[in-house]
């Protein structure tokens, strides 16, 4: 049960002509004031309808909110999570939230998705919400009122023993089988995001549920021999293609290099998506060791196979991959050429640019010109150019 720590002072602005006979009360809460290092940290926003009629709430996405969150948070003293890839495409599928007269709605946020509480000491959580009140369950219905809510909450993180941390996670483990889907998914989210090693068996069990995708990510974070084995088994045998692809991708991001042969074998799959994901994962896991296997794909007759090889080489962090990718800029297939541009940028953070942006490779003449520019640049920088990977994000530097 949440213990309220702070009560918000809300400013509600009435919209002329709107029929709204009630008022809203909102409160940000934290589960506790002190957390263990490695424990899930939640913040909740509870909104109560003190009026005499049902209302529908629209939680307007604040400027500082992440993706499709209903309220925004900032944490002073916390670190940002590790990046893996650049650029985000999100479809929110947001809807209005119904709140009957005298009832409340509570929205909970696991802050560990957005912040890393890595140090011992004090943190300051700042939360902000904009709530639009409607009289009907229609996006274009009249706005009854608008509420801005904002609060700052101090919390502390302290070191604890493994037994204490196990005890802190036990309520979440118990909720995995809760029939309420929201409670269940919240518990799974806490377990899979933090992924403590002592819950490895729980993560394995979750791979057999609707939460397989999140559990697979959790096993990648655990990064133990047992986790590698489970990911490799799912990569080979999972019947669900999305689960299989997730296992392949996340196996590639572990330290389990002994399982590189599994990914190399999957590169020969008749299923093109499996082939492509396996090539990318093999490049990430095998690094330099994967280059000869990925290079072999570049001579395939099927352009989709060549593109898989190009994308895998882009993930390899390997200096030997650059010359191969420069050669692929002359591939007869435009998609392969474009994939080569992306892989070269990923590896080197450089690109062939002109006054209009990225140089055009859609024609054979344009591709030949870009190829020559890359040959000249690589001849000058093959020894000192720094190699990069998916966890690095930077704007492209022109090769001229």
Q: Collapsing DSSP states into helix, strand and coil, what is residue 29?
A: strand
CB atoms < 10 A from the CB of 355, how many? 4
pLDDT digits (tens, 9 = 90+) for 2-30: 333 333 333 333 333 233 334 888 889 99
pTM: 0.86
> Given this model, what pLDDT does residue 227 score?
98
For the stretch 267-270, contacts whose Cβ atoms lie closer than 8 Å and that sit 24 or more positions apart, written own/partner, are: 267/293, 267/297, 267/308, 267/312
pLDDT digits (tens, 9 = 90+) for 345-356: 999 999 999 988
Q: What percent of the chain has pLDDT over 90?
A: 75
- Strands 34-36 and 143-158, by their bridges, are parallel
Mean pLDDT of the chain: 89
Torsion of CA 135, 141, 143, 144, to 10 degrees: -20
Residues 6+ apart with CB under 8 A from 363: none
How long, in residues, is the chain? 400
For residues 97 and 57, the answer to whether their CB atoms sit within 8 Å is: yes
Strand partners, 128: 72, 150
pLDDT digits (tens, 9 = 90+) for 76-104: 999 887 766 554 444 455 678 999 999 99
Residues 6+ apart with CB under 8 A from 164: 36
> Given this model, what pLDDT does residue 68 score?
64
Burial of 222 (0-12, 13-18, 19+ CB in 10 A): buried
Q: Collapsing DSSP states into helix, strand and coil, what is residue 265?
A: helix
pLDDT digits (tens, 9 = 90+) for 167-187: 999 999 999 999 999 999 999
Domains and CATH numbers, the chain: 11-160 (2.60.40.10), 299-400 (no CATH)
For residues 384 and 350, the answer to whether their CB atoms sit within 8 Å is: no
Return d(Cα 23, Cα 362) in angstroms, integer.
59
> Given this model, what pLDDT does residue 140 score?
85
For residues 193 and 40, the answer to whether their CB atoms sit within 8 Å is: yes
The more confident residue out of 66 and 143 is: 143
> Given this model, what pLDDT does residue 85 score?
59
């Amino acid at each position: 049960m949440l213990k309220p720590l702070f009560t918000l002072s809300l400013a509600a602005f009435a919209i002329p002509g709107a029929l709204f006979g009630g008022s809203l009360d909102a409160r940000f809460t934290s589960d506790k004031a002190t957390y263990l290092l490695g424990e899930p940290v939640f913040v909740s926003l509870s909104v109560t309808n003190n009026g005499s009629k049902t209302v529908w709430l629209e939680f307007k996405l604040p400027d500082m909110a992440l993706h499709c969150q209903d309220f925004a948070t900032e944490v002073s003293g916390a670190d940002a999570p590790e990046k893996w890839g650049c650029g985000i495409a999100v479809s929110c599928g947001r809807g209005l939230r119904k709140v009957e007269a005298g009832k409340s709605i509570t929205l909970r946020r696991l802050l560990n998705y957005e912040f890393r509480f890595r140090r011992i000491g004090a943190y300051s959580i700042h939360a902000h919400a904009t709530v639009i009140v409607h009289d009907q369950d229609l996006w274009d219905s009249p706005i009854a009122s608008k509420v801005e809510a904002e609060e700052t909450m101090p919390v502390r993180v302290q070191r604890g023993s493994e037994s204490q941390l196990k005890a802190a996670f036990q309520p979440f483990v118990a909720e995995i089988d809760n029939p309420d889907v929201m409670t269940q998914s919240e518990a799974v989210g806490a377990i899979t995001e933090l992924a403590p090693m002592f819950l490895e068996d729980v993560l394995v069990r979750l791979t057999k549920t609707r939460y397989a995708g999140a559990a697979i990510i959790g096993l990648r974070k655990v990064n133990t021999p047992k986790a590698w084995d489970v990911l490799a088994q799912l990569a080979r045998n999972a019947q669900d293609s999305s689960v299989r692809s997730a296992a392949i991708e996340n196996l590639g991001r572990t330290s389990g290099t002994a399982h590189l042969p599994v990914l190399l074998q999957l590169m020969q799959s008749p299923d093109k998506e499996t082939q492509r994901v396996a090539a990318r994962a093999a490049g990430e896991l095998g690094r330099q060791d994967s280059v000869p296997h990925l290079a072999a794909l570049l001579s395939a007759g099927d352009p989709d196979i060549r593109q898989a090889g190009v994308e895998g080489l882009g993930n390899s962090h390997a200096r030997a991959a650059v010359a191969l990718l420069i050669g692929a800029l002359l591939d007869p297939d435009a998609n392969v050429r474009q994939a080569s541009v992306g892989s070269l940028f990923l590896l080197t953070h450089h690109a062939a640019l002109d006054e209009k942006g990225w140089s055009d490779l859609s024609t054979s003449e344009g591709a030949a010109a870009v190829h020559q520019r890359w040959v000249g640049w690589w001849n000058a920088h093959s020894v000192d150019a720094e190699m990069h990977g998916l966890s690095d994000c930077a704007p492209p530097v022109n090769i001229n």
